[in-house]
Chains A and B, each alone.
Chain A
């Protein structure tokens, strides 16, 4: 059995009376692309923030890259990359300046940063934009850049929160090529999405409804389990039972 890089056991987060994430348990092995699905407000982002060390759980336990989410949040942060729902590179810095800043924060040397940014610029085809402010980039490019910055320091695991929201189909395809390339290098991918075709690209997926994980397995297994033609149907069957409104 492969090394388990994320293990969650009855992980919960409560905000007052509200159980945002209710006793979720799962594990993700190294190098896996793990899809984390669920309707808006199902608790995906809350769960992801707990795993990233941004939010302390209320109950349950979890470890990420072998570190505890309660006590070793800063150790976790050294080993992961994170791309939030909102675009969170500095729009008033240029592409190169962003790469330099985030690379440097993770402790890359000037030489490493130089090599990596050259490679990255070339790979993304951003030669002309390298010295432009990020604010001037179209959304698709920004998202690709965010992802590249998130994996710049070669983390063990990268968390992607709806990375392709609002992006055109062609760019989404390219985005997933980048995800596959990272996974091939051994990076574990933990990704949330609302696109069911993207769910099919994952090795394994879980579907959250009202703060709980209602289904988990490979896309093929889930389709069989719910007697569905595609992931869309699986999702509808589960999400229809949801009580939480947006």
Chain B
């Protein structure tokens, strides 16, 4: 115990003397939590729409009004011809061209149908796809409005139709922040913990101080605990800062139990710290450690279900995600924050993540050699 206390004393003194590390620990998560959710938003807004209105009628104007009023589109130009519209797309000024044919109003009224033409700039696939879908939906709605109006006017029963009423469980307002912020926080906790641990030990190797430690009768387990505990505490501090940021900036209040969230993070951190430790035992320089950690962190981030659902990945990628500790933290965070899952619901994940921690730390202890 005394040895561990001495190690902790030393480690904390060094951390608090290193102002840049301290800033990294405190400021980085705050900044990233403020900035990243803005970028990690799938909602497409401000789509530039060019309308070629060849009809210039009340109906065409009504439809365009309805489109712009949806809030997703910006009417950027009203070119006279489709060719002029194409030029706008080529100059990247417009994302979509809606061409309303001449005789639009007349054909709707007389023949009951009319075609409009939609051209989409598909360089940005997401924007194009979503933009096209939004626009189609709005036009469909407009279509129904007209149908309804006629039906009332002529007393003819309207065509039967299915009305869909959706209610969004767990995130009723479909607020992306509720979904992304807990996930980003999971990544931040992982990054801070993993990188700090790996770099800390490799730095001792570079300076040669680890040799002075290795020549003492200190036990390996003590040394490793002396390295894990400080970063485990720091990980919890980062997590707390993250929760405060999510509350004060995004107004996110976890539906579930806060203590359960902490319990999971407490169980989770040894896994990432053990991973950082394991990497450090293989590296001789901080550059090596940095690159290896980056390699894995990228995989952890992109394959942990933060941006894309794991269920939609190919089978083999789903297997990879199973071996990614971040997957479980992101999942559990979302379960507790959004759904209010209880202890029973997350228990299997507890077992998995503790297993990760045990295996990684045993590997790290085995691979750390006082005598080479």
A positions within 8 Å CB-CB of B: 52-56, 73-74, 77-78, 80, 82, 84, 86-93, 97, 100-102, 104-107, 133
Contacts of B9 in A (CB 8 A): 101
Contacts of B18 in A (CB 8 A): 92
Q: Are B215 and A82 in contact (CB under 8 A)?
A: yes
A–B pairs, 20, beta carbons within 8 Å: A53-B215, A53-B370, A53-B371, A54-B371, A56-B372, A74-B217, A84-B208, A88-B208, A88-B211, A89-B209, A89-B212, A93-B14, A97-B13, A100-B6, A101-B6, A101-B10, A102-B216, A104-B3, A105-B6, A105-B213
A88–B203 CA distance with the chains assembled, in angstroms: 12
Q: Are A104 and B2 in contact (CB under 8 A)?
A: yes
Q: Are B212 and A78 in contact (CB under 8 A)?
A: no
Number of B interface residues at 8 Å Cβ cutoff, please give it.
23
Contacts of A91 in B (CB 8 A): 207
B positions within 8 Å CB-CB of A: 2-3, 6, 9-10, 13-14, 17-18, 207-209, 211-218, 370-372
Contacts of A106 in B (CB 8 A): 216-217
| Shortest Cβ gap from A171 to chain B (Å) | 21
| Shortest Cβ gap from A149 to chain B (Å) | 9
A91–B208 CA distance with the chains assembled, in angstroms: 11
Contacts of A102 in B (CB 8 A): 212, 216
A105–B7 CA distance with the chains assembled, in angstroms: 9
A106–B371 CA distance with the chains assembled, in angstroms: 18
A133–B17 CA distance with the chains assembled, in angstroms: 10
A101–B14 CA distance with the chains assembled, in angstroms: 12
Contacts of B372 in A (CB 8 A): 54-56
Contacts of B14 in A (CB 8 A): 90, 92-93
Q: Are A104 and B371 in contact (CB under 8 A)?
A: no
| Shortest Cβ gap from A15 to chain B (Å) | 11
A80–B212 CA distance with the chains assembled, in angstroms: 12
A106–B217 CA distance with the chains assembled, in angstroms: 7
Contacts of A93 in B (CB 8 A): 10, 13-14
| Shortest Cβ gap from A129 to chain B (Å) | 17
Partner of B10, one of A55, A73, A87, A97: A97
A73–B17 CA distance with the chains assembled, in angstroms: 34
A208–B103 CA distance with the chains assembled, in angstroms: 103
Contacts of B212 in A (CB 8 A): 82, 84, 88-89, 102
Q: Are A90 and B209 in contact (CB under 8 A)?
A: yes
Contacts of A52 in B (CB 8 A): 215
| Shortest Cβ gap from A55 to chain B (Å) | 6
| Shortest Cβ gap from A159 to chain B (Å) | 8
A84–B212 CA distance with the chains assembled, in angstroms: 8
Contacts of A92 in B (CB 8 A): 13-14, 17-18
Partner of B208, one of A78, A87, A105: A87
Q: Are A105 and B209 in contact (CB under 8 A)?
A: no
> In chain B, what residue has the closest Cβ to A52?
B215
A105–B14 CA distance with the chains assembled, in angstroms: 17
| Shortest Cβ gap from B111 to chain A (Å) | 84
Contacts of B218 in A (CB 8 A): 105
A134–B213 CA distance with the chains assembled, in angstroms: 17
Contacts of A77 in B (CB 8 A): 215-217
Q: Are B3 and A105 in contact (CB under 8 A)?
A: yes
A105–B217 CA distance with the chains assembled, in angstroms: 8
A52–B372 CA distance with the chains assembled, in angstroms: 12
> In chain B, what residue has the closest Cβ to A146?
B212
| Shortest Cβ gap from A116 to chain B (Å) | 15
Contacts of B211 in A (CB 8 A): 54, 84, 86, 88
Given A91-B207, A92-B17, 10 additional A-B pairs, CB 8 A:
A52-B215, A53-B371, A74-B217, A82-B215, A89-B209, A90-B209, A92-B14, A97-B13, A102-B212, A105-B216
A91–B209 CA distance with the chains assembled, in angstroms: 9
Contacts of A88 in B (CB 8 A): 207-209, 211-212
A52–B214 CA distance with the chains assembled, in angstroms: 10
> In chain B, what residue has the closest Cβ to A103?
B6
A55–B215 CA distance with the chains assembled, in angstroms: 10
Contacts of A133 in B (CB 8 A): 17
| Shortest Cβ gap from A235 to chain B (Å) | 27
> In chain A, what residue has the closest Cβ to B222?
A105
> In chain B, what residue has the closest Cβ to A75?
B217
Contacts of A55 in B (CB 8 A): 371-372
A192–B208 CA distance with the chains assembled, in angstroms: 18
> In chain A, what residue has the closest Cβ to B6?
A104
- 3 closest A-B pairs by beta carbon, nearest first, are A86-B208, A88-B212, A104-B6
